[in-house]
């Protein structure tokens, strides 16, 4: 009987120790994976910001070329439907500043709300 109680007691004790270490290990693994996910998300965000800057630079250069060809960058700016009117207005002003050295007399993308 004492042997049976000893076997059951040691079994319970080893189960409890294993359970405690398993829980601790799972918590540590969860924390480490969360850190890795945060690190990857920050890298992805930086890459996304970089891609947006490259896209805007490309649109700006295409708009300058269109201005030199046709006298207005409007056709190029209108072709980019993902740009908001505020972004188009900013790009239009930047094109005018680069090409003419001053802002244009009128900017069709500026409304009374964003002047």
> Lowest-confidence range among 21-25, 61-65, 88-92, 105-109?
105-109
- pLDDT of 104: 82
Q: Report percent pLDDT > 90 for the chain.
A: 60
Residue that has been written with the tokens 């964003």 in this structure: 114
- pLDDT (0 to 100) of residue 36: 94
Whether 53 shows a pLDDT value over 50: the answer reads yes
Phi, psi of 96, deg, nearest 5: -60, -40
> For residue 115, what pLDDT is reported?
47
Mean per-residue pLDDT for 93-108? Answer: 89
Task: Tell me which DSSP letter residue 114 carries.
Answer: G
Residue 11's pLDDT is 87
* Prediction pTM value: 0.61
Q: What is the mean pLDDT of the segment spanning 24-50?
A: 92
Distance (Å, whole) CA 69 – CA 57: 18
SS3 54: helix
């Amino acid at each position: 009987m004492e042997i049976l109680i000893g076997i059951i007691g040691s079994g319970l004790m080893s189960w409890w120790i294993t359970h405690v270490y398993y829980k601790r290990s799972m918590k540590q693994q969860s924390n480490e994976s969360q850190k890795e996910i945060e690190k990857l998300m920050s890298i992805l965000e930086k890459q996304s910001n970089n891609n947006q800057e490259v896209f805007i630079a490309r649109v700006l250069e295409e708009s300058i070329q269109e201005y030199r060809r046709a006298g207005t960058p409007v056709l190029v700016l209108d072709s980019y439907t993902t740009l908001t009117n505020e972004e188009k207005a900013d790009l239009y002003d930047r094109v005018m500043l680069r090409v003419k050295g001053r802002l244009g007399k009128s900017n069709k993308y500026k409304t009374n709300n964003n002047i």
